[in-house]
Amino acid sequence: MVNPPSPSPGRPGIEKLLVAGLRGFCAGVVRAIDVVERALDVCEGPVYVRKEIIHNRYVVDELRSKGARFVEEVDDVPDGAWLIYSAHGIAPSVRQSARRKKLRTIDATCPLVTKVHLEAIHYAQQGYTIILIGHEDHDETIGTLGEAPDSIRLVGTTEEAEAVQVPDPERVAYLTQTTLSLDDTREIVAVLRRRFPKLARPAKDDICYATQNRQDAVKAMTPLVDLLLVLGAPNSSNSLRLCEVARDQGVASHLIERAEDIRPEWLEGVRVLGLTASASAPEILVQEVVRYAREKLGVREVEEFETVKENVSFSLPQELKALLKPAPREAV
């Protein structure tokens, strides 16, 4: 690891590190990690996880060190073994493959993603064409598309929204990937509403509460910082959106996975450095950056920037709860 040089005499260094008080794990991520850890305790034999349980290399490596076996597809799992579905959700075809192999499955899909899947099924059954706003290669979007592939059209930009074709303009609904920017989806929805005046929408926004809260915290922070660092992963949609939100506010932003990713040239002229963490980044990595800033960058002050508080939690999947129940006592 190459350490940035200490501030030179006569050259102002970073005076403050401003850390978003609202950062890191959301309820869906906490639940997904808990599912894997508890399954490792109670399931007999190896426990496999399809895809990354969440998009964070550190978390995946930690769970792998505890015994979890990560695979790309169901075909990589031995017949009859335990398999956990990741937080991003899966298409029905994945469940069908698991049943053919007689796998014992636990579904760690975030309940907010499950909500979008159920909405897709509902609208498809009602004969609607569904416009899914999302990114083509994201695991969550792939899973949602699989619920009604003949009824869903995927769009990711206003240009695609202008061009999308539907069989009946009178029966169109839209859904969104949960980890997008509300600002970006608002522009796309505006195009869709202009083109399809009877556009139906979900009863409640699909954008995850934690995604929106973290984006709002970044917006509030940007007037106070010269540069924002976002702890996350390059394949994490909500991580990338946090960087985009900062840049849209006129503040330079860089995505990092660890403290060692910080590059000296980013810090030229920075007096106040901002730091946040995506919904899939663990607190231990935040504290790693804080220590790095103090010890390597000569930061004089670390301050938490508070916005709203979160108190959301999700219960464990029913199939895991059943495994955790103590066995009934035999009558004496």
Tell me the catalytic residues. Answer: 140
Contact 230, 239 (CB under 8 A): yes
Contact between 174 and 131 (Cβ < 8 Å): yes
One DSSP character per residue, 299-327 reads --EEEEE---------PPPHHHHHHHSPP
- Give the other-Cβ count within 10 Å of 166's Cβ: 16
Please tell me the distance from the alpha carbon of residue 50 to that of residue 77, in angstroms, as a whole number.
9
- Sheet architecture: strand order including 227-231: 252-256, 227-231, 272-277, 16-20, 301-305
- Asked if 134 and 140 touch (Cβ cutoff 8 Å), the reply is yes
In contact, 249 and 201? CB cutoff 8 Å: no
Cα distances (Å, whole numbers) of residue 327 to 39, 226, 279, 324, 331: 16, 58, 36, 9, 12
